[in-house]
Structure 1
Amino acid sequence: MSLADSRPRPVVPARGRPRSEAVERAIVEGVVKLLEEGVPLAELSIERVARTAGVGKATIYRRWSGKEELFVDVVRAAEPPDPVLPGTSLRDDLVAMLESLRQRGLVSRSSAILHNVYAQMKSSPRIWAAYHANVIAPRRVMAMEVLRRARDNGEIRPDVDLELANDMFVGPMLVRTIMRPDADLPDDLAERIVDTVLEGLRPVSSTASSH
């Protein structure tokens, strides 16, 4: 699967004048074309993207503030979309979030280009910072809100460190998808992780604690 094959239409913040989806698609596809040709991120300038997409630099700058922001949107569009949380229970929301991470792991494994792009992003502080601020940080905020609401609702114990709890849920999935690229990613992995961790975070019933 290539980066182009796996990507839905990009979602970018509204700014500037009204925009043409066809123009945006041409710009994104221009970036993808350069990546598939093996152009390193360090050489992926706005000028080169504009030339490849057949647009002027000003057309790109009306949509993105620079190559970091443009590149983050290209990568985000290539990834599976962020999950829509069911909101029915802590368990359901956590399973949805971890399943999204599992799907990203599967996409990264099946796309050599995307895998290479992730590696290059981490060696480019500005691009990685933009990706972290626009993609990773909002996902963590969402997870923390889910855990905070669960603590307030009594679904997990009031003494639980929510930051640590979040790492306990996300960590095993990241180990499987990133640190152990040969590890299995079975369909029920998200449910197994959530159920295992929740077992230790749920309040102890008065009946159980009396024995």
Structure 2
Amino acid sequence: MNRTADADAAGTAEAGTPAGAAAAPAPERQAPAPERQAPAPETQAPAPERQVPAPEAQAPDPRRGRPRNAAADTAIIEAVLRMIEDGVSIGELSMERIAREAGVGKATVYRRWPGKSELLLDVMRSLDTDIPPPAGESVRDDLVGIIEFLRIRGLAKRNSALLRTIVTHVKAQPALWREYHETVVQARREVLLSVLRRGMACGEIRTDRDIDLLADLFVGPVLSRAVLHEWADLPPGLAEEIVDTVLYGVRPRV
């Protein structure tokens, strides 16, 4: 009797017919399922925490390398100047010899300059002085200051065998000479152009002429004497004479 009743109950459950006591345990067996799944979000939650340190770990970019040592730069450039002053020709200079004279490793020199010509370009820049910023009070006085700077620069080149030697070498390298012009020379020209623009704005200089042509009128006489005619004088007072003469011709006509 008992085995028959059990079989009947099993058959009823399998057929899906309602059974009071037999069907009740099913929800109890499934109830723990949500409890087992509940920790899932907790196991995923730490993921953002593991990713947070990544930017901090990458902050110091190892590819940047060590910062340049200004003292080493100065020692290398001074070593080149010292050797040229002692009569060493440009052809006799080598990166290895420069490194020995400067007291640094050859790799230190090559890390800063790929070759001797690039190094000499920076040596030439080291001999340059920055053009004084215009005071901005008088267009005439600012122009005189710029032309006087060029006059003194021309005298320095004329009187310095060291500077002539380096300039001659850099001039023979078209790419380097262009770079020098695009950085040093063009920066000076921009200072001159800024003063001329101010003169045009305030009515002291005519506005119906190309500003680059006007700039050439001011610097042309000094460059002509310093570069094309190195035997010509660059006397004191030349800057004032040039500026006053050109200003007379470029003043607006009433």
Query: TM-score when scaled to structure 1?
Result: 0.78
Deviations along 1:53-109, one digit per CA (max 9) or x if unpaired, are: 121244335545654443223212223432222211221221111111111111112
Determine the structure 1 residue equivalent to 2:101: 52
Task: Say which SS state the counterpart of residue 235 (structure 2) adopts.
Answer: coil
Task: Say which SS state the counterpart of residue 154 (structure 2) adopts.
Answer: helix
For 2:194 and 2:251, locate their aligned partners in 1 and report how far apart those are by CA, in whole Å: 17
Structure 1, unmatched stretches of 5+, are 1-14, 206-211
Structure 1 segments of 4+ aligned residues over 6 angstroms from their partners: none
For 1:66 and 1:134, locate their aligned partners in 2 and report how far apart those are by CA, in whole Å: 19
| Residue identity in the other structure for 1:127 | L
| Residue identity in the other structure for 1:50 | A
In the TM superposition, 1:1-211 aligns within 5 A as 17-41=66-90, 44-64=93-113, 67-205=116-254
| Residue identity in the other structure for 1:172 | P
Deviations along 1:129-168, one digit per CA (max 9) or x if unpaired, are: 2221221122122222221232122221120211111111
More deviation, 135-144/159-168 = 135-144
For 2:84 and 2:121, locate their aligned partners in 1 and report how far apart those are by CA, in whole Å: 13
For 2:179 and 2:88, locate their aligned partners in 1 and report how far apart those are by CA, in whole Å: 20
Q: Using the aligned pairs only, state the percent identity.
A: 51
| Residue identity in the other structure for 1:78 | L
For 2:225 and 2:247, locate their aligned partners in 1 and report how far apart those are by CA, in whole Å: 19
CA gap 1:154/1:183 in 2 versus in 1, 3 angstroms:
same
For 1:143 and 1:190, locate their aligned partners in 2 and report how far apart those are by CA, in whole Å: 14
**Structure (1 or 2) with the greater helix fraction:** 2
How many Å apart are 1:189 and its aligned residue?
A: 0.7
Aligned residues: 191
Task: Say which SS state the counterpart of residue 55 (structure 1) adopts.
Answer: coil
